[in-house]
Structure 1
Amino acid sequence: MANAITNATYQQLEGMLAERIDPARIITQEAKRLAYGTDASFYRLVPKIVLRLKSLDEVIFAIQCCRELGIHFTFRAAGTSLSGQAVSDSVLITLTDDWRGHQIIEDGNKIILQPGVIGADANKYLAPFQRKIGPDPASINTCKIGGIAANNASGMCCGTAQNSYRTVDSMKIVFSDGTLLDTASSESIDAFKTTRPELLQGIQSLCQETADNAALTERIRHKYRLKNTTGYALNALVDYQDPIEVLEHLIIGSEGTLGFIAEITYNTVVEHAHKASALLVFADIEEASKAVTTLSKTPVAAVELMDGRAMRSVADKPGMPAFIQSLDLEAAALLVESHACSQSGLDGQCEQIMDALADYTIIESVPFTSNPATVASLWGIRKGMFPAVGAVREVGTTVIIEDVAFPVENLANGVRDLQALFDKYQYSEAIIFGHALEGNLHFVFTQGFESQSEIERYGGFMDDVADLVAVKYQGSLKAEHGTGRNMAPYVELEWGKDGYALMQKIKVLFDPEGLLNPGVIINDNPHSHIENLKPMPAADELVDRCIECGFCEPVCPSRTLTLSPRQRIVLYRELQRRRAAGEKVEATELEKIFEYQGLDTCAATGLCADRCPVGINTGDLVKQLRTAKYQKFTPIAKWTADHFSTTTAIARTGLKANQLVVKALGGNCIGKVTNGMRNLTKGATPQWIPELPQANSQDLKDLTAYQPQQVKKVVYMPSCASRNMGQQADATDQRPLTEVTLSLLDKAGYEVIIPDLLKDQCCGMPYDSKGMNNIAKTKAQQLEDALWQASQQGKHPILMDTSPCAKRSIEQFSQPLDIYEPTGFVSKFLLSHLAISPVEETVMLHITCSSRRMGLEGDMLKLAEQCATDVVVPEHIQCCGWAGDKGFTTPELNAAAVHPLKAQVPDNCQRGFSNSRTCEIGLSHHSGVPYQSILYLVDEVSSAVK
């Protein structure tokens, strides 16, 4: 349909939208449209306009503008959908972070959520009430409530009893004409009955038509014994009589084709405090499937089935049980979990489950356990299967994950028949796993779309899968991933002519102009599933394994400013494709855009790697590409590395000069002059902010020269930042971090060893972040040599007072040195020698990205809570975006990364703490309260044990 709309019409729409929407959130630049238009599916449509809307009024206005011009539009939440339901070649409507509102009501039994809330965040809000939302999709750490409801997502424990269809309490819905309905409000319902009587009358007619068709009614009841997201929720026409309730449940799983979910209230479910898991291996799929039937009659919360190929795919991964490597391909495993309100109840349930399986031969097992490490390892098997296939695929191919449901009594036969299709179509890497209690199987395989023969192979395979599942076994072609474009050609095959005709009537009734997400669910094109396929060209081995799932996006500090890791890879792939195709003009233009969007505004923290299913660190690619960008500065950088003490002395002199000028002229004056110069130079000069630190001129060798000898010794390696930067002018404690650290170590009875040639030492991070690898490695080696000597060849622990330096050193050093950042060192070595009297105060805590990557998030929070009665860790800030010197040179990155911070600082909070001196500058600037190292807090509340 987009092709029928002229560019002039889209330009007219852009002008209309700009009357009430900030033009900066109306995206028309080609590169951004490509990047923002990409989702997790294997389809590629590039929208003409991408909207980033911040309010309900804006959504209604955008819908009305599109309707006036006859332009179709698609809603997008997190873009983790797999079936092509969140891409558009027209107008793509996305939401800003302003849609994160939530309200807990009825003591946690209900929760009101806006569509931009991440699923895992909803559960975090409910945790104090021992409740959670029912849906538990595998993507819950990334996917958003709007997508969860619009796709009727389920998951491993959700089943069919706790999905959105079963747990929705009420909704706010915007329809294709901009009408708003709040199903929780009798006033809104009465108004809707007046403004849209034809819609409600039409729903009543469809309910009657369904009731009059006994065969169709029975078919619907049969289909929804299983997990089923193929087509519209026809069970709404059978389960409910009130047209408002029918409407509400038809919206669930409608994939944005019937309306926009502006808010949803869920009835929550119990989050049991006690859980145990077991891994049970059977000789073949038949025996495992019989066991599933037996287990369904026991108190199990989840039963995950994994075939022999799936187990083989993770056999060599760290932490796997040793017996996995010896299993043959005939073996099948069940991962079983049970939940209870008490430990005694859980123990009884686990015993009951195993007693029920007494007649089965279990060839290998990991018995029921609640040990967190073992449980994490067991579920790591299941969660590692999708990335295991993705990690070994050929460059240029994509990973496809389909999900179907068989009647449980046909589970084994269904698995065998799927495996036969894998062999027929030569998908040798394909694996099967899934939620066995519902007969819901996922199968994962790799597929290239670069040749017609490959497309035809995939098309033939899907035809056979559809016939197998929908016809032979009367199952569901889409159990939980949604119909999208991928299964739209097969909806009629599954539901029959009368069922499909009913769905067509639903679509016309809700969306008579056909403007909402056309081509999704209802699609007359029998080839829609093999058209508009996403290219996956080779770009760089660092990112070629990316499947564009978007799991990385929530933790990226630049995602609201320019691009997320997924979007960076999308643009880089396109850039490489154009270069390979010889499209020089287009490539040059894209290169200019990518330099800022992709390189300059990436913090290169590596947080994305922790969320990525295949472990891609997009920051590594960015640093590699920066090598060429900064090559001309290499001689200067090498000089600074070779003369590091001089370089830092110059920096210290600059800080002193700033102090004097500010004192003489005032902060406002110097700010106007400095930042005015930055504007004139178009960002070539650094930003000035009032929170610039004073100079630290202390000589650590002098401070430690006369300390008494102690049994306990520590090598103290202050970062170059803390050696040279003091505190900002309004900080309560004006001591430099080096002095505070020495004070704390002295209280705990430690003798401090300072490395030789301290002023010349650096971990190499400033050079590494700019891709100057050789210089960075040289500095790291110099530091390692100095610390090796200072620690007496690793005899004494080493304290680095900033977490980024500690993390980099741990990763780079080859000698067996025990290196700690502040949290780890205090917790392990100091607390037992200190008496702690916590301050009765509310403090902010920023957990740096380096601390998160070192797994210290919980430890850092625990330490802060030992020192203060109320600790606030702000939401949605995984990295501050200061990124070394980018806080000065690209301050918009820092501003975007900590945008949610100031609103979360309580009125009674006067200060914050972290463990990176440079991060603390930006945090102070954007929060309105001074941030200092957590060592200041520990030193303040501690005294030596008598």
Structure 2
Amino acid sequence: MKDSASRNMLSGRYRRFLDIIDQYVDEERIITDPLRTLAYGTDASFYRLIPQVVVKARDEGEISRLLKAAGQCEVPVTFRAAGTSLSGQAISDSVLILTGNNWQEREILEDGAKIRLQPGVIGKHANSCLAPLGRKIGPDPASINAAMIGGIAANNASGMCCGTSQNSYKTVARMRIVFQDGTLLDTGDPKSREQFKTTRPDIHDGIAALVREVRDNAVLSERIRNKFKIKNTTGYSLNALIDYDDPIDVITHLMIGSEGTLAFISEITYETVEEHANKASALILFNSIKDACLATEILKKQPVAAVELMDRAALRSVENKAGMPDYLKSLADGTAALLVETRASEKEVLQEQIGAISTALTPITLARPLEFTDKVEEYTKLWNIRKGLFPAVGAVRETGTTVIIEDVAFPIQHLAAATVELQQVMARYHYHHGIIFGHALEGNLHFVFTQDFSTPAEVERYGNFMHDVCTMVVEKYDGSLKAEHGTGRNMAPFVEYEWGHEAYHLMERIKDIFDPNHLLNPGVILNTNPKAHLENLKPLAATHQLVDKCIECGFCEPECPSRNLTLSPRQRITVQRQISRLKAMGKSPEQVETLQKAYQYAGDDTCATDGLCKTACPVEINTGDLTKELRRMRVEGTPRETLARLVGKNYGAVTAMVRLGLTTVDFAHKIFGTTIMKTVAETARKVSGNRLPLWTPEMPKGAGRRSYPHAGALGGRQVVYFPSCISRTMGPARGDSEQRLLSEITELVLKRAGFGVIYPEKMEKLCCGVPFQSKGAFKQADEKAAELEQVLLSATGSGIVPVICDTSPCLYRMREVMDKRLKLYEPVEFLHDFVLPHLTIKQLDETVTIHTTCSSQKLGLAPKMLAIAKACAKDVVVPEKVGCCGFAGDRGFTYPELNSSALAELRPAVEEGGATSGYSNSRTCEIGLSLYSGIRYRSIMHLVERCTR
């Protein structure tokens, strides 16, 4: 439904805009309510603007119509893909157009030599489909696991290895562009190119005139040429005017790095680059940062793929983290490091390159002997040092402060002097916890520090600091104020200072040619306000210690099952911070109430609390824990807590009632059939206001009661098997050809492997506490876990015998809270490590698919799950874009839209891969997986049982 109240508060031009787009944009894709405009308005920068309208655009044609409507109503427009940009280029106080979820097309061309991508494709996903061909895209930003192609191209993002030779500017092959008036140009289509000359001569001829003018100006041409010898994303890609002759080619390359200020990139085709099979890395330590920088000049001439510089403060920030080399703690104060990687197609060539690099560095005295490693596990640990730097600063910052990462570049011959001077400037402004690191081969430095923007004095300190940095970079070294993070709002006031008036005026003319009314992302790249970088600063109010370290980078978002339905983890934290901020100010109680009411569904009800966000978070925040904590606060001291206590004390009777209910519903299914049953269930749920759980054909039967006898040990091997309350309660679905209970299958497999199976006593009343914890009944969850713990200690002889639990979420919590003497295993781990070696497997001649649950992913068991599947089946499909299934215990019944949204990509992946059956390790997850895949999912135990008969 349309949010009439929030629409009525908009000014006339925005209401006119909405009246126009209502005719062709579905109402659920038009957002004007306070909660979601705030949430969607947040990006990774330290700026905050709240859009008036957010539109989730569907396709290229719709973008064209939206831009026409924006022009007609004179409303500015900003495009957003992933929102991982750091300089404020993806926020708006006008209309924000999202181009993520509906823009996922990708196509490999010419056997991997090229790849066609829509702007919503995540960089990691582009590379994953190229990997089997030994190729990848050239840009490799640190955010590649979350950043989308639209932002990567629009910001000309680079990274550790791509430098200036493999970035988007150098590797773009063709592009589809939608201009501000809705005109479409396909730069790879001759007909489209010719048509564009006729339909938009103002742009085509205007750019052609600028090309001639720049070519005739030798001084300006040389200035442009020199500026792009190093990394540079300050301003527009003026090098296009001297690198290309055809205006269409110039336009294509001007779009790279234009940050949505010239037009919209609806599709880009990249020339791909080789992904070498053999790699080796070394952490080379120097006595001073000057020595490290001088060594970089030597390495520039060697066969190196990456050279990452880290100062002593950077190394110190991670030296106490798990997995870091012990020697980091003993390094002298002035020590600096270069993390060097070399790559080759052949192992022999790789060894030759290592030798050449080592010989070249002989003249420089090192703080430790040089040692390369080509072992994946070893060089991965080395690169974890580099990857941990930014989050290390974020993790130690004071609550309420923000983490700022700036990005400059120098000609490499000035790198040593510039780095030392940058350290001095940071010290002068008391950024004592700041660190410096960067892509040394390109003279590209990042400096990271924490900043409080809560007082005018602190804002002034930051402003003065940035002024001095800019003066040093521009005046002394003629460097780049932005090397790879994009100009954004952050450096827009300094573009003319870096480039000079003539080049800056050229940029203004480019903007006027493309966007004469300045409606596309105004204030970004070109901004005449000298204080723009000090305005609209994002408040980071304290809200809860579980999430206060969040830096709002957005790395968590691809892992969240509700990201395309309601809110992502980053957005949940943004809203909670705003609620806390408004409360602390003592203002706008109505606004607080509005946000809290809207948050209930968007933030709480549809949060799966799976915790996968933590696996991608640089500072390891689990937003699911915040949701559980908010639920706890609503439960404790209320009748709901009393009910939870009653359920816990009578758990055996409650699970028996659930079994009876499932059996009754299944009997109705048998009598009425699927069609009538589905219609009745959907009607009943609708009439109840969605209070009744939704019945589906995959609803399980009640599990038949069975005895769980104690069995003696066979061959000295025994295991305590604890079937979870889910597997003791839920049986197979009516349509499943396999009607045996999971506990029967598990016991059979264990016995085939020679294990004696021991069942805990009084098992019907036992529970690990997961159902209670997920609903906020923490005390009862801990009571049930403690009860189970004592039973298991008794059954295992105080931990002598291992324990297997057949449901991964239950096992995950058991490991978190139970006595460490207990050796606790979930099905995948126990099968892989202990069972399979004792079984004779006959591989099935079929294709299967697997789903590693969130809990198993957090336990690092995905590789073992895949290994089991590959041992049992000829071919295995692992759907790339499916993470958490969103079933979340009972939420697949109570909020089925969460499950549906999370698994939107499942069926296409299963069908494309040709899988005929699926396997997982949680019964409730398997319900949703079966419903939305078109095939039957069962426990991985079923697969092992099938191929060991």
Per the TM alignment, residue 909 of structure 1 is displaced from its structure 2 partner at its CA by 3.8
Structure 1 residue 708: Cα displacement: 7.0
Alpha-carbon contact 2:850-2:920 (below 8 Å) kept: yes
Q: Does 1:905 align with 2:910?
A: yes
Q: Does 1:233 align with 2:237?
A: yes
Structure-1 residue corresponding to 2:920: 914
Match of 1:780 in 2: 785
- More off after superposition, 382-391 vs 366-375: 366-375
- The one of 808, 823, 843 aligned to 2:813: 808
Letter in 2 for 1:699: R
Q: Secondary structure at the match of 1:74?
A: strand
Q: Letter of the aligned partner of 1:187 in structure 2?
A: K
| Equivalence map 1:242-641=2 (5 Å) | 242-364=246-368, 367-582=371-586, 583-631=588-636, 632=638, 633-641=640-648
- Cα distance in structure 2, aligned partners of 1:471 and 1:732: 76
Q: Contact 2:700–2:734 (CA<8 Å) still a contact in 1?
A: yes
Whichever residue aligns with residue 551 of structure 1, its letter is F
The Cα offsets for residues 430-476 of structure 1, whole Å up to 9 and x where unpaired, read as 11000000100000011111111111111111111111101210000
CA drift of 1:709 comes to: 4.1
Asked if the contact 2:358–2:370 (Cα under 8 Å) also holds between the matched residues in 1, the reply is: no
SS in 2 for 1:575: helix
Matched, 1:743 2:748: yes
Q: Are residues 1:652 and 2:659 paired?
A: yes
Separation (CA, whole Å) in 2 of partners of 1:435 and 1:650 = 62
SS of residue matched to 1:335: strand
Q: Name which of 821, 835, 839 aligns with 1:834.
A: 839
3-state DSSP of counterpart to 2:701:
coil
Q: Distance in 2 between matches of 1:742 and 1:253?
A: 60
Which residue number in structure 1 is paired with residue 202 of structure 2? Answer: 198
**How far has the Cα of 1:669 moved from its partner?**
3.1
What's the CA shift for 1:904?
A: 2.5
Residues 81, 100 of structure 2: 8 Å contact kept: no
Is residue 678 of structure 1 aligned with residue 678 of structure 2?
no
Moved more, 281-290 or 779-788: 779-788
* Contact residue 369 and residue 375 of structure 1 kept, 8 A: yes
Q: CA deviation at 1:630?
A: 3.0
The residue matched to 1:808 in structure 2 has which SS?
helix
Mapped partners of 1:409, 1:366: distance in 2: 24
Pick from 919, 922, 930 the counterpart of residue 924 of structure 1. Answer: 930
Pair 1:252–1:293, CA change in 2 (3 A): same
Indicate the SS of the match to 1:694.
strand
Q: Does 1:771 align with 2:776?
A: yes
Q: Contact (CA 8 Å) 2:437, 2:446: kept in 1 or not?
A: yes
Matched, 1:697 2:704: yes
Contact 1:101 1:114 in 2 (8 A): yes
User: Who is 2:4 aligned against?
Assistant: none
Select the residue among 727, 730, 734 that pairs with 1:729.
Answer: 734
Flag the 1:23–1:918 CA change in 2: closer, same or farther, 3 A.
same
The CA deviation at 1:366 is 6.5
Q: Aligned to 1:716, what secondary structure does the other structure show?
A: strand
Distance 1:576 1:178 in 2: 42
Paired with 2:362 and 2:576, the residues of 1 have a C-alpha distance of: 56
Partners of 2:323 and 2:227 in 1: CA distance:
39
Distance 1:365 1:623 in 2: 50
Q: Secondary structure at the match of 1:906?
A: helix
- Is 1:851 the counterpart of 2:844? The answer is no
> C-alpha displacement at 1:864, in angstroms?
1.0
Where structure 1 has 5 or more consecutive residues not aligned to the other structure, the ranges are none
- Once the 2 structures are TM-superposed, how far is the Cα of residue 382 of structure 1 from its aligned partner? 0.7
Describe the SS at the equivalent of 2:269: strand
TM-superposed deviation, 1:374: 1.6
> Is it true that 1:793 corresponds to 2:798 in the alignment?
yes
Distance 2:659 2:900 in 1: 25
Give the distance between the partners of 1:229 and 1:866, measured in 2 at CA.
49
Contact kept, 8 Å, 1:700 with 1:754, in 2: the verdict is: no
Unaligned runs of 5+ in 2: 1-8
* TM-score normalised by structure 2 residue count: 0.97
For the Cα contact (< 8 Å) 1:47–1:92, is it kept in 2?
Answer: yes
Report sequence identity in percent: 52
SS at match of 1:191: helix
CA distance in 2, matches of 1:366, 1:924: 54
Structure 1 residue matching 2:85: 3-state secondary structure: coil
Cα distance between partner residues in 2 of 1:581 and 1:491: 37
Partner of 1:112: 116
The reply on whether 1:889 has 2:886 as its aligned counterpart is: no
Which residue identity lines up with residue 66 of structure 2 in the other structure? A
C-alpha separation in 2, matches of 1:647 and 1:291: 70
CA contact (8 A) 1:312 1:329 kept: no
The CA deviation string for residues 470-518 of structure 1, in whole angstroms up to 9 with x for no partner, is: 1210000000000001000100011001010110011001111111101
Aligned mates of 1:117, 1:688 — CA distance in 2: 34
The worse-fitting range, judged by mean Cα deviation, of 438-447 and 668-677 is 668-677
For 2:764, the aligned partner's letter is K
Q: What is the rounded CA distance, in whole Å, between the counterparts of 2:715 and 2:42 in structure 1?
A: 60
Deviation at 1:794, TM superposition (A): 1.7
CA distance in 2, matches of 1:674, 1:501: 66
Contact 2:290 2:420 in 1 (8 A): no
Distance 1:365 1:635, change over 3 A: farther
- The answer to whether 1:935 aligns with 2:935 is no
Q: Which residue of 1 aligns with 2:884?
A: 879
Deviation by residue 1:2-59 (Cα, 9 ceiling, x = unmatched): xxx9712111111111101101100010110010010000111111000101111111
CA distance in 1, matches of 2:333, 2:547: 31
Deviates more, 1:495-504 or 1:666-675: 666-675
Aligned with 2:672 (options 665, 688, 700): 665
Q: Secondary structure at the match of 1:775?
A: helix
CA distance in 2, matches of 1:417, 1:52: 46
2-structure distance, mates of 1:6, 1:818 = 60
Kept in 1: contact 2:713–2:755 (CA 8 A): no
Matched-pair contact (CA < 8 Å) for 2:58–2:99: yes
Structure 2 residue 649 is matched with structure 1 residue 642: yes
State the Cα deviation string for residues 668-693 of structure 1 (Å, max 9, x = none): 33333333232222122211111111
1:148-180 per-residue CA deviation (whole Å, 9 max, x = no partner) reads 000000000010000000011110111111111
Q: CA deviation at 1:828?
A: 0.8
Measured in 2, the distance between the counterparts of 1:573 and 1:419 equals: 33
Deviates most, 815-824 or 427-436: 815-824
Deviant stretches of 4+, over 4 Å? none
Distance 1:162 1:231, change over 3 A: same
State the 1:365 CA deviation.
5.1
CA distance in 2, matches of 1:508, 1:529: 23
Write the letter of the residue equivalent to 1:32.
R
- Tell whether the 8 Å contact from 1:730 to 1:930 is kept in structure 2 after alignment: no
Q: CA deviation at 1:377?
A: 1.2
Q: CA deviation at 1:96?
A: 4.3
What SS does the corresponding residue of 2:195 show, helix, strand or coil? helix
Scaled by the length of structure 1, what TM-score is found?
A: 0.98
Question: Is the contact between residue 306 and residue 434 of structure 1 (CA under 8 Å) also seen in structure 2?
Answer: yes
Pick the aligned partner of 1:138 from 129, 137, 142. 142
